[in-house]
Amino acid sequence: MSGKLYVIGTGPGGAQQMTPETRAAVEASDDFLGYGPYLDRLALRSDQNHIASDNREELDRACAALKLAASGRKVCVVSGGDPGVFAMAAAVCEAIDGGPEEWRSIDLTILPGVTAMLAVAACVGAPLGHDFCAISLSDNLKPWDVITRRLRLMAEAGMVIALYNPISKARPWQLGEALSLLRETLPGETPVIFGRAAGRPDERMQIMPLGEADASKADMATCVIIGSPETRLIERAGQAPLVYTPRFITRESA
């Protein structure tokens, strides 16, 4: 008898940023599979099982979860942020697509969460107020030349760009190269937001112009948002500036 499979996102990290719908799924589940730090965000009961794995084992994790659900268990696959944004929902769908026929009949529910770029944007104002895109700088699943082509095209199109997976020990150079590439198209005063651990006790928001943006300000807990030529700063006495992208665009600036 087929069980139930939830795919959830815990939000950017703060307990208050997990949705009530997600909390209900956690309460109802027997088994939890995910990257260890994401599982640690859940206050699981003693009768609930957690199975931690490395963050690079998404497809294996998805297959293990589907096998448990197919056996009749209530299973929860855990991502940070939103499970559909560079996270586990796609891996689960991929596993179903290539897996046995019985996996297609599993009762699957994918629940939305607060993704990092939304949390960072809310901390600094409204940089995503007009057209924007999200790009992962990780080249584990796509070639670097595809990433750079997309960055160049999005900058030329005047889109605000949110960068996920900006830097890691294995990829210490890519964010610096991405920023250099964007400087070829965007004005040096374009605001760049380094948003680290939004909603957590160690939250840190740093805003600097693209011409001075320093890749060393980021780590894997950081979402980097690069404004468009229309993105503006509002200076405020005694407070951090607000960053926003106007909801309108003039023909002259298009």
* pLDDT computed for residue 170 by the predictor: 83
Count the helices and strands in the chain (H runs, E runs). Answer: 7, 13
The span from the CA of 243 to the CA of 89, in Å, is 31
pLDDT tens sequence across 12-41: 988 889 999 999 999 999 999 999 999 999
Report yes or no on 78 lying in a domain.
yes
Contact 82, 9 (CB under 8 A): yes
* pLDDT computed for residue 220 by the predictor: 87
* Residue 1 clears pLDDT 80, i.e. is over it: no
The closest alpha carbon to 63, from 29, 88, 36, 35, belongs to 88
57 band by pLDDT with thresholds 50, 70 and 90 = confident
Q: How far is CA 182 from CA 99, 171, 189, in A?
A: 40, 18, 12
The span from the CA of 143 to the CA of 121, in Å, is 28
Please tell me the pTM assigned to this model. 0.93
pLDDT tens sequence across 127-176: 999 999 999 999 988 999 999 999 999 999 999 999 999 998 888 899 99
User: What is the average per-residue pLDDT within 203-218?
Assistant: 96
227 band by pLDDT with thresholds 50, 70 and 90 = very high
**Domain limits at 98?**
4-110
* 195: helix, strand or coil: strand
CATH assignment at residue 137 = 3.30.950.10
Q: What's the structural domain count of the chain?
A: 2
Report yes or no on 252 lying in a domain.
no
Handedness of CA 151, 152, 153, 155 (dihedral sign): positive
Report yes or no on 24 lying in a domain.
yes
If asked whether residues 55 and 174 sit together in one domain, one would say: no
DSSP 83: T
